[in-house]
Structure 1
């Protein structure tokens, strides 16, 4: 194999591929990145068994020139370290003596050992199935708004991912750890009779969040037990979590005894002063005494600290008072997803969750269950 390629593009794609690699994988071949050059393209593949990455490069997107086709399997560590430090715009990759890869510039060369390419498993990337086109930045925003409600170590495996569902021409994303629930809904641009109900693993969501930054074309292709995410010239394919996600819609109250209208950013500044931890690194509980004229916030860290503050910057709707406790961290994370929006907090009783929504835009809903001090 011998080829020349734009260094920055190669570095970018190898970096993406290397992030999937698990250095302690029981299959040594999966500790490497598979690189195959044909006459018109370069394919880069990595996998950790449950998730696989594939990039396709050609002359148009990477100034690729292939002199001799071939395929190799290589651990990317030293290659990435060198590429990050090189000043050259282009690099040449050439296999040497069948067990070495040489990376060449005008002034330098690096030789690294290559693995047995025949041991790399055959990975099929499926690009046929139900295809959803979603704005890449909207999906990235959706991830940031919902991912904090996932506990990847939850004993209930179905709760270790995000539930993606299509029903009534709406695409909904739901996450929960049973202490809080996040729901984001997106209206599909085209009518569809399809109904989808899948669970995307947490680790896949993390990889997507890392990959989606500068993506222009983003698609989700759903097929059987897998989902393929198309990100411009890259594919990320993941197995799905088997099982049925719980119906969490009943967690969203439809009535309220108290409704508060306020600026998310204003309340976050106050709550940040209550996000204290004890010596065991356990987050504090914030107590809210809510009435028409003021909210008194209190927290106590046993044998360490007590803090109290009054908050009055809100509009009140209701006829009753309320005393309720929340995990401070959970409440902050839920409110933070609304940026600087005007938001509504609706309450029913000290044993019922708070529902947080935008005052105008209602596509995002957060529920946080109360706790005990």
Structure 2
């Protein structure tokens, strides 16, 4: 095998494919990137059997072939080549898979492995699909991924629920304390499709997506896998088994109190309050709602903060406590200038949503001792 690249094109493809390479594996070849030039194009492939990426790299095939190279070593060598991104990089492997990397006056020799032993990304059925802009998918992931559970006590909580229903596409996540939902209308109606996608896979997909409004991503749904196709790149993830939670039953349109508030002003006050919350603490931010005014109070061993924000209110006065970081996470991921927040009683969750319900955030309250205020 003999290939020639420009350094910047090679680095770009390595940075994409290496996201699917495990740092440690019981199978050493899984810690490799596959360099495959056996089918008329140059592909870089990373695959840990649960999550795989294949991306086409611009370059010239001088001799066809394939080789698997230690991903970290290969990546470090290419990144440490001279700084000029337009430099030519020549990669050549012999019959024993010893691979030579040449760039200007630098020559590296590393041991590779037989590319035929590498586990390729499996082909999947592409009959059930939906098309979105990369901007929409990237935004939806970033605006919901923070409420995915980090532990695996309930594996379904470590993933996000992607659903297509008619002409509506939605992304939902929950961690037992909050729910995040984003929805958008599709250009056309589609068959019903759904999948629980691991949060770790979606984080990597978000990092790869360019996020362009006019750039498209195709999503293919199957029973066990989901495939994302965009920009000469394929990303395949195994799904989390099981039925997702009945989120619709957890949401309510009823409310006793509604406030409309400047999002930035409220977020700034909440972020200031987190100064007094240490990492492992669950100190509540207490909200006191009255006509025209939202009072915020937080008190801990570090100190105390009192703040006030102007609001429009309809319904009852209320005093209720929440984890301030959960509130900040939701508000930080809303673009509108003002937000509407709905409450019922102090023991019930709040809902942040717009009239069109393009976003819905639910946050459970935190108990506090009102006498200690």
With structure 1 as the length reference, what TM-score do the two structures score?
A: 0.92
Instruction: Note if 1:355 corresponds to 2:354.
Output: no
- Which one is further off, 235-244 or 109-118? 109-118
Aligned pairs for 1:228-239 within 5 A? 228-239=227-238
Q: Aligned equivalents of 2:247 and 2:211: distance in 1? A: 33
Aligned pairs for 1:270-281 within 5 A? 270-276=269-275, 278=277, 281=280
Residue 130 (structure 1) aligns with: 128
1:339-373: CA deviation from partner (whole Å, max 9, x where unpaired): 34311011111011111123x65301111111113
Please report how far the alpha carbon of residue 39 of structure 1 lies from its aligned counterpart in structure 2 after TM superposition.
5.8
Instruction: Note if 1:158 corresponds to 2:156.
Output: yes
Does the residue aligned with 2:272 lie in a helix, a strand or coil?
helix
1:275–1:284 Cα contact (<8 Å) kept: no
Q: Aligned equivalents of 1:258 and 1:141: distance in 2? A: 30
Please report how far the alpha carbon of residue 196 of structure 1 lies from its aligned counterpart in structure 2 after TM superposition.
1.5
Q: Moved runs in structure 1, 4+ residues, more than 4 A?
A: 277-280
Q: Aligned equivalents of 1:347 and 1:298: distance in 2? A: 18
Please report how far the alpha carbon of residue 310 of structure 1 lies from its aligned counterpart in structure 2 after TM superposition.
2.2
Instruction: Note if 1:22 corresponds to 2:22.
Output: yes
Residue 99 (structure 1) aligns with: 97
Q: How many pairs were matched up?
A: 363
Q: Aligned equivalents of 1:339 and 1:298: distance in 2? A: 25
Residue 179 (structure 1) aligns with: 177
2:196–2:239 Cα contact (<8 Å) kept: yes
Instruction: Note if 1:326 corresponds to 2:322.
Output: yes
1:234-283: CA deviation from partner (whole Å, max 9, x where unpaired): 00001111100011112222121111111211101111111135556325
Instruction: Note if 1:209 corresponds to 2:206.
Output: yes
1:274–1:284 Cα contact (<8 Å) kept: no
1:155-189: CA deviation from partner (whole Å, max 9, x where unpaired): 11112111111223211111111211111111121
Does the residue aligned with 1:40 lie in a helix, a strand or coil?
coil
Which consecutive residues of structure 1, in runs of 5 or more, have no partner in the other structure? none
Q: Aligned equivalents of 1:49 and 1:97: distance in 2? A: 27
Q: Aligned equivalents of 1:277 and 1:112: distance in 2? A: 52
Q: Aligned equivalents of 1:278 and 1:365: distance in 2? A: 26
Does the residue aligned with 2:145 lie in a helix, a strand or coil?
helix
Residue 249 (structure 2) aligns with: 250
1:125–1:237 Cα contact (<8 Å) kept: no
Q: Aligned equivalents of 2:282 and 2:9: distance in 1? A: 43
Does the residue aligned with 2:189 lie in a helix, a strand or coil?
coil
Please report how far the alpha carbon of residue 225 of structure 1 lies from its aligned counterpart in structure 2 after TM superposition.
0.8
Q: Aligned equivalents of 1:19 and 1:141: distance in 2? A: 20
Q: Aligned equivalents of 1:208 and 1:126: distance in 2? A: 18
Q: Aligned equivalents of 1:271 and 1:237: distance in 2? A: 38
Residue 367 (structure 2) aligns with: 372
In structure 2, relative to structure 1, the CA distance for the partners of 1:308 and 1:157 (3 Å cut) is same
Residue 371 (structure 2) aligns with: none
Instruction: Note if 1:32 corresponds to 2:32.
Output: yes
Please report how far the alpha carbon of residue 36 of structure 1 lies from its aligned counterpart in structure 2 after TM superposition.
1.3
- Residue of structure 1 aligned with 2:72, choices 70, 77, 84: 77
Aligned pairs for 1:272-351 within 5 A? 272-276=271-275, 278=277, 281-301=280-300, 303-311=301-309, 313-318=310-315, 320-351=316-347
Q: Aligned equivalents of 1:280 and 1:210: distance in 2? A: 26
In structure 2, relative to structure 1, the CA distance for the partners of 1:36 and 1:127 (3 Å cut) is farther
1:152–1:161 Cα contact (<8 Å) kept: no
Please report how far the alpha carbon of residue 214 of structure 1 lies from its aligned counterpart in structure 2 after TM superposition.
5.3
